[in-house]
Amino acid sequence: MYAEIKELLFQPNAFFTRKAGAGINLVPPAIIVLIVSIANFLSPYVGNYLSPRVSGPVTVIWPLDSFLITVLGPFIAWILISGILYVLCRWFSGTGTFMATLQNTGYCVLPLTIFTVIMLIGNMAAVQFMAIPYAMVFEVTLGVVLLSFLFTIWSGDLLTFALEKTHAITHVHAIVAVVIAAVLLFILYVIIIPLLPYLLLHLFRSF
């Protein structure tokens, strides 16, 4: 298991070459995505249950929509990204299947999963043992943003090798597919989804 994880993270070309000749197994990538869901679910409890300032039980209230987004969001994103990448790779005359794309996209989430777990552990340590001085908030925030960017690039790099081997396309086409998918997801999550309530409200008022 350790050897396979190491190969995925540091020798993605060899890893996905081997996966291209094997059967589809969605269990390992599903576990990788599940860890992200669990970490997201546990995050709100860190400050409430581990802080030395909290002496009694604390209830964390989850609105249903927030709970579903937190728990199911990583799986929805996994399927959505896989669908976009599959369409783009077929556009580049790729030969792989959607299920193979889904499997290998899930594997590529591993760096982001590692980052999510690191952030959860870091929050637990900060709440339990120390408080961040106000003067260092900017530096810590910048460090987290840079670390997030690096792990995202790492996942994107793995994804280019995954698409190249899964769909038998050139590495350049794989990079283009990843960049296009990233831009589309940015537009969706940063622009369209935040504006969706206002658009729906305007639509209902028009009736």
pLDDT(125) > 80: no
pLDDT reported for residue 186: 85
Q: Quick one: 147 exposed, middle or buried, by C-beta within 10 A (0-12, 13-18, 19+)? A: middle
Q: Whole-prediction pTM value?
A: 0.84
pLDDT(134) > 60: no
Angle at 99 between CA 163 and CA 109, to 5 degrees: 55
Among residues 83, 94, 87, the alpha carbon closest in space to that of 171 is found at 94
Higher pLDDT, 68 or 30: 30
pLDDT digits (tens, 9 = 90+) for 153-185: 999 999 999 999 999 999 999 999 999 999 988
Q: Which two tokens stand for residue 29?
A: 């990538």
Which ranges of 11-63 would DSSP assign to H, the alpha helix?
12-20, 27-50
- Average pLDDT (119-131) is 69
- Average pLDDT (19-38) is 93
pLDDT reported for residue 107: 97
pLDDT reported for residue 181: 94
Q: How confident is the model at residue 206 (pLDDT cuts 50, 70, 90)?
A: low
Cβ atoms of 33 and 75 closer than 8 Å? yes
pLDDT reported for residue 48: 58
Q: How confident is the model at residue 105 (pLDDT cuts 50, 70, 90)?
A: very high
pLDDT reported for residue 102: 97
Q: Which two tokens stand for residue 103?
A: 């499997």
DSSP state of 136: G
Q: Name the region of 132 (left: φ>0; alpha: ψ -120 to 50; beta: rest).
A: beta
pLDDT reported for residue 13: 96
pLDDT(69) > 90: no
pLDDT reported for residue 86: 97
Mean pLDDT of the chain: 83
- Average pLDDT (44-54) is 59
pLDDT(54) > 80: no
Higher pLDDT, 133 or 121: 121
